[in-house]
Amino acid sequence: MGSCFSLQVSDQTLNRIFNCLIGKGYIRNLKKNLRALQREMEDLIAIQHEVQNKVARDEARHQRRLEAVQVWLDRVNSIDIECKDLLSVSPVELQKLCLCGLCSKYVCSSYKYGKKVFLLLEEVKILKSEGNFDEVSQPPPRSKVEEWPTQPTIGQEEMLKKAWNRLMEDGVGIMGLHGMGGVGKTTLFKKIHNKFAEIGGTFDIMIWIVVSKGAKLSKLQEDIAEKLRLCDDPWKNKNESDKATDIHRVLKGKRFVLMLDDIWEKVDLEAIGIPYPSEVNKCKVAFTTRDQKVCGQMGDHKPIQVKCLEPEDAWELFKNKVGDNTLSSDPVIVGLAREVAQKCRGLPLALSVIGETMASKTMVQEWEHAIDVLTRSAAEFSDMQNKILPILKYSYDSLGDEHIKSCFLYCALFPEDGQIYNEKLIDYWICEGFIGEDQVLKRARNKGYAMLGTLIRANLLTKVNTKLVGMHDVVREMALWIASDLGKQKENFVVQARVGLHEIPKVKDWGAVRRMSLMYNKMEEITCESNCSELTTLFLQYNQLKNLSGEFIRYMQKLVVLDLSGNLDINKLPEQISGLVSLQFLDLSSTSIEQLPVGLKELKKLTFLDLAYTARLCSISGISRLLSLRVLSLLGSKVHGDASVLKELQQLENLQDLAITVSAELISLDQRLANLISILGIDGFLQKPFDLSFLASMENLNELLVLNSYFSEIKCRESETESSYLRINPKIPCFTNLSQLEIMKCHSMKDLTWILFATNLVYLQIADSREVGEIINKEKATNLTSITPFLKLERLFLHKLPKLESIYWSPLPFPLLSNILVKDCPKLRKLPLNATSVPKEFQICMVPPEQGNELEWEDEDTKNRFLPSIKP
C-alpha cells in the first residue's frame, strides 16, 4: 500500500522562489559576488590611499581639499565599514547554501544577504569610477577681513587718512605708528585694520598680533601660525628655524598684511619666517610702538607720530564722556570741566577714563578736588617718562573703597594681552580677603561681581564677554606703578612682580614680595630656594613644570592662593605642601596629578580646590578631611561619581559648590549634594537612558555638558497616568539657573524640547548627534506655548547634525544673540528669524559657506536684514 504526499504552492510563492533562483541571482551568484566584492574593495582602498596621499601633498603646500573629494573619502570609509561587516559573516552565510550553491536552506535570509552583497558591490564599482580625480585641492580663498567694533574717534580722522595713504603707497612696505601710552595708537590701528575690510579681496592673508613687552620669538611664531592654521601639536614641537621655514613657505607668493600691535623692541621678521615686504610682492607690515627708535630699527625711517588731541577735540571727547546732565547741573562745572580736560593733556585714554569717573560728579567741590589732585600729581611726578600714569591714578583714587583698590591692583598680575575668567578672579579676591568675610559663597561672589562692575564702569577694566575681563596695557602699567610706589612708602604694602624665570635672581628682597606671577613662562622646573615669607599669591599656571620644588615653597606659610593649572606634565606635589597652613585656594586643573598628597589633609583652611580635567587622578581619598572646603571641581577628571567618591563628598559639610562628571551609572545623590552641583558633566550613559528629570531639581545647576549618552525624553505632565515620557510639571520652575548647555554624540536624541524650561540659557551647543531633527518639537511644546525660548541666548552652535531641519517652527525674538554657527547641518534650510528678531548686529556663520546662499527667509525684509550678517 503506497502513501501519497501533496504540496500546494501559491503562484506568488513560486514567483518569489523563481526570482531567488533565477532573477538577479542573489543566492546562486553569492559566492562569485563575495569574491568580486573583496577584490573591488581592495582596489577601492588602494585608490583611496592614492587620493589621500595627493591631498596630503597638496595640503602640505597649504592648498584646500575639494569638498567633492572629502565627500568621496567619507563615502569610502562608510562603505569600508559596511563591507567588513558583510564579509565577516560570509562563512556562515555560505554554509547555508545547498544544491551546489543554487539555493539555500534558509531562502529568505540568504536572499536578503545576497541582495546586500550585490548592491554593495555595485556601489563599490561606482565609487571606483568616481575616484579618478584630476584635481583634489584648490588654492585657499582670499582671507576676508572682518570689520572690528571700534569706538567713534574724535580728532583722529586726519591722522587715519594720513596713515592709510602712506601705508598704501607702492614704495612703502613697512610703516610704524609711534606715540606715548594712551595716545590712541591701538584705536587708530584698529581703524586701519577696518579699512582693509572695506577693500576686501586685495590681500590674500591678514594677520593681527598683539606683541607686548618681552614677547618671545617662539610666541610670535605660534601666534602667526595659528592665523595660518599651522599650529598643531607636531608643529609646536619643531625648532624655531623649522617653524620659520614653514611660515615662509605659506606666505611666500601671497600678498599679506601683518599688523603688530604694541612692540617694544625690534621684531626680527626674517627669524620669524616673514618674507620681507617689497614693491615687488606688494606685502605690508605695520606696527605700533611707544619708542620712535624702534621704528628705525624696523626699517621705517619716516614713521608717523600719533599725537595728543588738539584742545577743542580733547574737550569734545571729554564732554561726551562726562555727559550733558552733569555739565548742566551747575553753571560753574562747565568751566571746571574744561580745566580738568586740560589736565588730561590731550591723551584720549586719560580723557575717557577721567571723563567717565567725573560723569557722576555733580557738586562743584568734587570738580575742584579733582583739579587739585591732578595738579599735585603733575608736579609730583613731573619727571615721569609716561605722563599718563599720574593722570589715570585719579580714577584709581576715586574708587574710594580700599578693598576695590586692592582688587584692581591684583589684576595687574595677569599678562598684558591676557583675559581673566570673572569667577576665578573673584574667588582669588575672596581668598585674599578683599571682599570681606561671608560664609555664604553666593553672597560673597555677588559682592565680587559688584566690585568687578565698579572697575569696569571706571574704565580700569574692560569687559570682553560674559565670562572674561581684560586690562588695557597702560592701565596695567599704572597698577604696577601704584603698587611699587606705595610699597616704598608703606610698610608691608603690596609689591607685585610678574617675572620670568630668568628674572627670579633679580628679585633681591623676597621677603617684601606679597604677590607674584610667573605664569606663561615655559618653565620646566623651579629648583631655587626662596625666602618668600610674606607671599600670599603665587601664579605658576600654564608653564611646562614637571615638578615643584619643596624648597621653593618651604617658607610660604602665609600663601593663600596657589595656581598650578595647565602644567600638563606635573604629576605630584612635594610633601612640603603640608606646610602651606594658610592656603585657601589650590588649582591643579589640567595637570597630570595621579594622587592627592598625604599632606593635603593638613590644609585646614583650604576653601577652593580645582581638580578639573585631571585625567590621571584615580582617587580623592582623604578629601573629606578638608573641613573648610566650600568649592570643589572634579569636572572631566578620571574620578567619577562612584560610591567611594560619594562617601567622601557627603562628609564635606561646608561644601557649597560642586562641579563633577558622572559616567557609567548615576549614583543616587542625596538632595543636599544634588543642590550643590553648579556644573555637571554626563559621559557614557549608554546602557540605560539618563533621567533628565533628575536634573530639574538641581537648584544650583548652571552648566550641563553631555557626551556620548542616551537620554530619556521629557514631556510636560498632563496626567499622572502617562508613562511614555519622563514628566515635569510646567507650573513648577526648573532649570532656572541653567545658562550653558553642550550636548555631543547623543545619537538617540531626536529633539531638545525640554530646553523650553531653561529660560536663562546663554550658550547652546549641539554637536555630532545624528538623530536630532529639530531643536524644539511643535507637538511636544503644545502645552508650553506661554514660554518664549532663547530670550537670554547669546551664542548658538550647531555642528554635524545630518537630520536637523528646524530650530523652531516660527520666527522668535533673540534680544541678546550675538552669533549663530551652523556647521555640517545639510538639511537646515531656515532659521527662526524675521526682520526684527535681533535688535543688534550679529553674525551668522555657515559651513560649508555655500549653504548660506541656500537659506530660506521668512520674507524679503528678513533676507535683506540678515544676508549681510552671513560670514565665512
- Supply the pLDDT for residue 508: 54
- Residues 853, 709, single domain; the answer is yes
- Site of grid cell 606703578: 481
Q: Given a cut of 80, is residue 117 above it in pLDDT?
A: yes
Q: Which of 138, 172, 196 is the last residue of a domain?
A: 138
Q: Which of 456, 485, 514 is the last residue of a domain?
A: 485
- Supply the pLDDT for residue 415: 79
Q: Which residue has the higher pLDDT, 9 or 809?
A: 809
Structural domain includes residue 655: no
- Supply the pLDDT for residue 607: 96
Q: Which residue has the higher pLDDT, 308 or 723?
A: 308
Per cent of the chain over pLDDT 90 is 35
Structural domain includes residue 458: yes
Read off the pLDDT band of 490 (50, 70, 90). Answer: very low
- Supply the pLDDT for residue 142: 54
- Site of grid cell 604694541: 262
- Supply the pLDDT for residue 721: 40
Lowest-confidence region among 129-143, 178-192, 512-526: 129-143
Q: What is the average per-residue pLDDT within 24-40?
A: 81
Comparing CA positions, the residue from 795, 655, 676, 658 lying closest to residue 739 is 795
Domain that holds residue 862: 684-689+702-713+732-871
> Looking at residue 188, what DSSP letter applies?
H
- Supply the pLDDT for residue 143: 57
Lowest-confidence region among 154-163, 250-259, 465-474: 465-474
- Supply the pLDDT for residue 872: 63
Lowest-confidence region among 43-47, 82-86, 446-450: 82-86
Using CB atoms within 10 Å of the CB of residue 802, give its burial: 0 to 12 exposed, 13 to 18 middle, 19+ buried: middle
- Contact yes or no for 631/584 (Cβ under 8 A): no
- Residues 215, 287, single domain; the answer is yes
**pLDDT tens by residue, 536-575:** 999 999 888 988 888 888 889 999 999 999 999 999 898 8
- Residues 209, 290, single domain; the answer is yes
Structural domain includes residue 491: no
- Site of grid cell 584709581: 396
Read off the pLDDT band of 13 (50, 70, 90). Answer: low
Structural domain includes residue 334: no
Comparing CA positions, the residue from 759, 756, 801 lying closest to residue 779 is 756
Please give the mean pLDDT across all residues of the chain.
83
The dihedral sign for the CA sequence 310, 315, 318, 320? negative
- Supply the pLDDT for residue 456: 87
- Residues 862, 736, single domain; the answer is yes
- Residues 390, 248, single domain; the answer is no
Read off the pLDDT band of 613 (50, 70, 90). Answer: very high
Structural domain includes residue 410: yes
Phi, psi of 731 (to 5 degrees): -80, -15
Q: Which residue has the higher pLDDT, 381 or 139?
A: 139
Using CB atoms within 10 Å of the CB of residue 606, give its burial: 0 to 12 exposed, 13 to 18 middle, 19+ buried: buried
Comparing CA positions, the residue from 848, 849, 841 lying closest to residue 865 is 841
CATH code: domain of residue 275: 3.40.50.300
- Supply the pLDDT for residue 726: 42
Q: Which residue has the higher pLDDT, 98 or 769?
A: 769
- Residues 254, 171, single domain; the answer is yes
- Supply the pLDDT for residue 731: 60
Residues 415 and 387: their CA atoms lie apart, in Å, by: 22
Q: Given a cut of 90, is residue 80 above it in pLDDT?
A: no
Amino acid identity of 568?
Answer: L
Q: How far is CA 315 from the centre of its chain?
A: 40
Structural domain includes residue 640: no
- Residues 42, 121, single domain; the answer is yes
Q: Which of 485, 511, 542 is the last residue of a domain?
A: 485
855-858 own/partner pairs: CB under 8 Å, 24+ apart: 855/829, 855/830, 855/831, 856/829, 856/830, 857/830, 857/833, 858/811, 858/830, 858/833, 858/834
- Site of grid cell 529633539: 751
**pLDDT tens by residue, 654-671:** 999 999 988 755 556 678
Read off the pLDDT band of 631 (50, 70, 90). Answer: very high
Residues 651 and 623: their CA atoms lie apart, in Å, by: 9
Structural domain includes residue 260: yes
- Supply the pLDDT for residue 832: 94
**pLDDT tens by residue, 826-842:** 999 999 999 899 877 78
Read off the pLDDT band of 492 (50, 70, 90). Answer: very low
Structural domain includes residue 278: yes
- Supply the pLDDT for residue 582: 95
**pLDDT tens by residue, 210-248:** 887 777 888 899 889 888 878 777 777 889 999 999 899
CA dist list (Å): 706 to 357, 743, 744 = 45, 5, 6
- Residues 128, 249, single domain; the answer is no
- Residues 25, 127, single domain; the answer is yes
- Residues 762, 847, single domain; the answer is yes
- Residues 22, 133, single domain; the answer is yes
Q: Given a cut of 50, is residue 722 above it in pLDDT?
A: no
**pLDDT tens by residue, 382-401:** 555 567 888 888 888 888 88
Residues 772 and 365: their CA atoms lie apart, in Å, by: 65
Read off the pLDDT band of 720 (50, 70, 90). Answer: very low
Q: How far is CA 617 from the centre of its chain?
A: 25
Read off the pLDDT band of 136 (50, 70, 90). Answer: confident
- Supply the pLDDT for residue 730: 56
Q: What is the CA radius of gyration of the chain?
A: 33
Read off the pLDDT band of 509 (50, 70, 90). Answer: low
- Residues 127, 190, single domain; the answer is no
What pairs with residue 679 in β-bridges?
Answer: 659, 703
- Supply the pLDDT for residue 392: 83
Number of folded domains that form the chain: 4
